[in-house]
Amino acid sequence: MPTLTLHDAIGAALTEEMRRDRNVIAFGEGIATKRHDLVEEFGALRVRNTPLAEGIIAGTAVGASACGLRPVADLLFAPFLCYAMDELVNSAGKLRYMSGGQFSFPLVALAMSGAGWGVGAQHNHNVEAWFVHSPGLKVVMPSNPADAKALLKAAIRDDNPVVFFLDIGLLYQPGEVPDGEHVIPLGQAATVRTGSDVSLISYGKTVLHCLQAAEALAGAGIAAEVIDLRSLKPLDEAAILATARKTGRVVVVHEANRLCGVGAEIAALIAEKVFPALKAPVLRLGGPDVPVPASFPLEQATVPQVDAIAAAARQLCAPQAV
C-alpha cells in the first residue's frame, strides 16, 4: 500500500471522484493554489479559487448542488464556518426536507480543525458539535489518511450535505492508504484496538492519544479497547453500545469543549441503553471552555493527552470505582 499524508489522501480522493463523476467540482479558499494537479487535470472550470467570503462560498455550493452538481467547498479553518452557518444550516441542511425530497444537496464542506499549528483562537476552534446538532447535515472527522480518503469518497457520493473536518495536527502525518476503490460508509465506527477492561471512544487526533494510552495501560495489566467514531453524524450507536457492554467501563475523549460536546451524547446514550452493563460511571475528557491559546504549549494543554487518558482509565478500573 502507498504511504500518503492526510492532506495527500484528500487530494487522491478528489482526483478519483472527479474522474469518476464529471459533476464533482472543487472550489474554495486557495484550493487551486494548493492542488495544482487538480487544475492541470480538470481545468479551471472545475477547480477554482474563491474570494475569502465563506458565506458566498457555501451559498454557491448549495446552489450548485441543488442544480445537480456535487461541489466540494474548502472553507479552510473551522471557525470560518461561522460565516457560512445560514447557508449550511438553514439552506443545505433543511431544504431537502422542506421541499419534500424534490431537491437534494450533495455537497461537502471541508474545514481544518484543532490544535497543532498555534494559529490562535479565531483559527482553532473545534465546532463539530454545532453541526451534529443541525438537522439534515452529516459530520465526519477522520483520524488517519486511509479513512480520510475513504470517507471523503463516501461523502462526495452522498446525496446529503456533509461537513468534513480535517484535524490540523494530523494533516501531514503519513499513513498507509489502500490502492483502488476503497470507500467507508458514513456512520461506521472502527475498533482500532480490542480489549476487555475499559473502552476508550474518540475521534480525530485524540484517537492516537487513546492508542498510546492503551499501550501504557497494557503494561499495567489493563486491556483497553479503542473505538474510532470516524463519523459523528450518523453516529454508530451499535458500536458504542457493543463496546460499553463488553467492558462495562467507558472513557470518551475529544479535543472539543467538554461542555455539551459529542462525549455528552455518547455518555447519555450509554446510560440510557446499557446502564445495567456498566461497572463504573462513564467519564468524559474534553477541552476546557476557553478560547484556544496561540502559544503551542498552552494550546497542547487544552487537548486531552496520553497521561490524562490513562489516568482516567485506571480510575475506572480501580476497585473503588466498582
Catalytic residues: 54, 123
Residue 202 has phi, psi (to 5 degrees) of -155, -175
Spell out the residues 6+ positions from residue 63 whose beta carbon is closer than 8 angstroms to its own.
Answer: none
Burial 266-304 (b: 16+ CB within 10 A, else e): bbebbeeebeeebebebbbbbbeeeebbeeeeebeebbb
Mapping DSSP onto H, E and C, the string for the chain reads CCEEEHHHHHHHHHHHHHHHCCCEEEEECCHHHHCHHHHHHHCCCCEEECCCCHHHHHHHHHHHHHCCCEEEEEEEEHHHHHHHHHHHHHHHCCHHHHCCCCCCCCCEEEEEECCCCCCCCCCCCCCHHHHHCCCCCEEECCCCHHHHHHHHHHHHHCCCCEEEEEEHHHCCCEEECCCCCCCCCCCCCEEEECCCCEEEEECCCHHHHHHHHHHHHHCCCCCEEEEECCEEECCCHHHHHHHHHHHCCEEEEEEEECCCCHHHHHHHHHHHHHHHHCCCCCEEEEECCCCCCCCHHHHHHCCCCHHHHHHHHHHHHCHHHC
